Structure 1
Amino acid sequence: MDKTILKEHQAFIRAELDGVVNFWLENGMDSVHGGVYTCLDRTGEIYSTDKSVWMQGRCGWMFAYLCHVYGVKEQWLKASKSCLDFMEAHCINRDSGNRMYFTVTESGLPLRQRRYCFSEGFYAIANAEYYGITGEQVYLDRAREAYELIYKLNHGLIKDPTGFGPKTIADTRTGRGLGDPMIYLNVTAVLRRVDKEQADLYNARAGECANEIFKYHFKPELGCTLETVSPDGTPQLHHTAGRMVNPGHDIECSWFLMEQANFTGDKELHAKAQHMFNLAINAGWDEEYGGLLYFTDCMGKPPEAYEHDMKLWWPHNEILIASLMAYRDTGDESFYQWFEKTLTYCKEHFSDPEHGEWYGYLRRDGKPTMPSTKGSTFKGPFHLPRMLIMVDQMLEELLAK
């Protein structure tokens, strides 16, 4: 480990973090209606005023998390609260069991609701993180309520109050998705950190999530982790959705599991998470152009998604977190090599020193889609700043050794 190089990496990471945070503070925050706009072009100009509810929660969490890691700055805390207030006023369907919308207008009129519980998950972590900074009980209460709602919905303990059924006709085909236990594990980790009173509950739920991921989705015999499986975990290899692998998702999942393993001291779980990472990155890395493919097929057949061979920002963010975490925890140089390889790719293709932030969407050859974008309904101040914060902290730990 060359500490001179680590210091150079840290300097780059910190400069990028400053640029990213300022990009969103200067261009994304809505001073009129509250909340954040995330449909921003390369220069930060807003190209759509519709607002993603996911991003209200993610942005609310991120600015509070910055305060947690680096100390409270009023501008950060104000931005977090703006997103929290906007969600509370406009993004909750009070007539449908407090399920949350997926998109709303800039003033908060509802546009779209989805069956998935991810809006509620990001709302929960935002409120929990804000409580961790301010100690204001109302935010913890909101986080706890959303956390329980997600659990009940994911485990069929209540009917979805929106009336949405499963994605496919249940009598024909049903299954389970990796996203539910994976995201709930991450939500649990945030709540467990700030809500010590319910530690036993969070420990139990985190364990359930890890067990579910490995019981049903992790398929080393197929060389992958499957996004969708039958209710009993049997692969559905006769159709494209059943064979779909999202390598970036698996890599993100791997570091959620590494964190859980570190929390519990479970070395076996950590080793399994490392295996998950290795399978995903080796299956998804594009040897011809570099970077991680968005989707692959576990049997090498054509993926259904049009964007399967694109390079998106967030899977590369997850590689940087997971590879450095694995290297920090094990000292295995192969993980550090993946970190360096990915960081080099990101510097060359995603980073934009002229305008700040990272391009969201690259073609397979590594060139940004045209016109290029820095934000969308699905891209906002979350994956990238989270990575930059976490990598900065892990580099600090490595430099201290």
Structure 2
Amino acid sequence: MTIWGIEAERILDYWIQYTKDEKYGGFYGRIDIYNQIDPFAPKGSVLHSRILWAFSAAYNWKPKEEYKNMAERAYTYLKSHFWDPVHGGVFWTVTRSGIPLDTHKQTYAQGFYLYGLIEYYKAFKDSKVLEEALEVFHLLESKCKDPLNPGYFEAFDRAWNKIEDHIISPGRDKSMNTHLHVLEPYTELFELEKGAEIKQALEDLFSIFRDKIIWKDTLQLFFDKDWAWSEGSYSLGHDIETSWLLRKAGKVLGKDIDIACNSLAYASMGIGIPALREENGEVHWWVQAEAMLGCLFAYESTEDQYFLDQIVMLWKWIENALICENGEWYWGVDSSGNKLEQHDKVGLWKCPYHHVRSLLILDNWAFRYPQKLLLKV
């Protein structure tokens, strides 16, 4: 096992040991940087969906019984407490005891639930789970899709009436982030089910990124319903994440997007090294994990040693700055290198997804080409 596989196991073991809510079921909604559980924190659908994805993916990587148990726990809780039995779709949050709390339907959350279901199906081959995944796909297409313009709206009430978004893109109709995390599960679904409707939906998303979201060597973030945008904020983490997720979508569709994706990767890493920073100078955990993957896919496309060197540099920075002694990673550091103590170790947005995915893929890749990367770290 590589250093990345070892670290993936450490993170997964942390979630097994510390995050299960044995009283109310599912997983705690928040654990702070000092490993203190907030027993009253609401539980999020994105958190539980990402746990479902992570432990299903871990089981596909290494079929351990404890990984299966965690995946089943997440799946059961999502179905029992987050799924709306009346209107379909998952709620945003429930109380600690599993009572629906914020019952609005966020497109972003439906995308992650679909992503988790697909990986769970890959791990355990339960046909009813694939049927459930297809049901979520059809909900996204019938409820979330803009009927007049390309793309998907952000937020809806419980009965799927469009509402103003307050989570991903306040004050705007559409976002890069939501479309990225619909593209992500649609790519995986199309690999399983080559249906015409799924293919068309994925092709439409691919075209949206190519023609509307990518602008020169970066991504525009927020849009109105007609895809009008104004220059302003950037997100290096999403730039580098998109560079490999869009490349993967293009591969399954048989469409070439390498030039645009390579440009995103070169531009992101050129700005960011030794670690990709936010506009305020902070360095966040998930961005570094996605940067390693973006560099990996860019290397496979370009064979430019530069990208392997960046993976090594990023990993050494992560080892020094982010890895916690008792497991998991810190959220990040500020512009002076101090830990961001106000951010969670476990929470609505802090989940075993970005870094576990990066580490599992790196572990598999390094064994294929040890002379290229494994011996450098």
User: TM-score normalised by the shorter chain: which range applies?
Assistant: 0.7 to 0.9
Counterpart of 1:25, as a letter, is I
Alignment length (residue pairs):
359
User: What are the residue-to-residue correspondences of 1:146-185 with 2, within 5 Å?
Assistant: 146-157=136-147, 160=156, 161-167=159-165, 175-185=173-183
The answer to whether the 8 A contact 1:115-1:165 is kept is no
Partner of 2:247: 258
Shift of 1:180: 2.9
Distance 1:234 1:121 in 2: 23
What is the root-mean-square deviation of aligned Cα atoms in Å? 2.5
Of 312, 337, 340, which residue of structure 1 is paired with 2:309? 337
| 1:188 corresponds to | 186
> Which of 190, 214, 218 is the aligned partner of 2:214?
218
Structure 2 residue corresponding to 1:37, chosen from 28, 44, 57? 28
Q: In the TM superposition, what whole-angstrom CA distance separates every residue of 1:378-401 from its partner, at most 9, and x where no partner exists?
A: 101111111111111121222288
Residue among 35, 46, 70 paired with 2:37: 46
Question: Helix, strand or coil for the counterpart of 1:100?
Answer: coil
The percentage of aligned residue pairs carrying the same residue is 19
- Judging changes above 3 Å, is the alpha-carbon distance between structure 1 residues 351 and 167 closer, same or farther for their aligned structure 2 residues? same
| Aligned position for 2:375 | none
Q: How far off its partner does 1:114 sit?
A: 4.4
Code of the residue aligned with 2:212 in structure 1: it is Y
The answer as to whether partners of 1:251 and 1:322 remain within 8 angstroms in 2 is yes
The amino acid that maps onto 2:27 is V
> Contact 2:244 / 2:297 at 8 angstroms: preserved in 1?
yes
Report the secondary structure of 1:364's partner residue.
coil
Q: 1:83 matched to which residue of 2?
A: 74
> Within the alignment, does 1:293 sit opposite 2:277 as a pair?
yes
Matching of residues 219-368 of structure 1 within 5 Å:
219-220=215-216, 223-237=217-231, 243-266=232-255, 268-283=256-271, 285=272, 290-294=274-278, 296=279, 308-352=280-324, 354-368=325-339
Q: Secondary structure of the equivalent of 2:101?
A: strand
Gap regions ≥5 residues in structure 1: 1-9, 238-242, 297-307
SS at match of 2:37: coil
Secondary structure in structure 2 of the residue aligned to 1:236: coil
TM-score with structure 1 setting the length: 0.82
- Say which SS state the counterpart of residue 36 (structure 2) adopts: coil
Structure 2 unaligned residues grouped into runs of 5+: 373-377
Per-residue displacement from partner, 1:159-204 (whole Å, max 9, x unpaired)? 9424342339xxxx754311232111111122234x33x4444333
Note closer, same or farther for the CA distance 1:372–1:203 as it changes in structure 2 (3 Å cut): closer
How many angstroms does 1:345 deviate by?
1.4
2:366 maps to a residue whose letter is L
Q: Which amino acid aligns with 1:276?
A: L
Describe the shift of the 1:392–1:98 C-alpha distance in structure 2 as closer, same or farther (beyond 3 A).
Answer: same
1:176–1:364 Cα change, 3 Å: same
1:240 aligned residue:
none
Query: What TM-score comes out, normalization by structure 2 length?
Result: 0.87
- Secondary structure, aligned partner of 1:41: coil
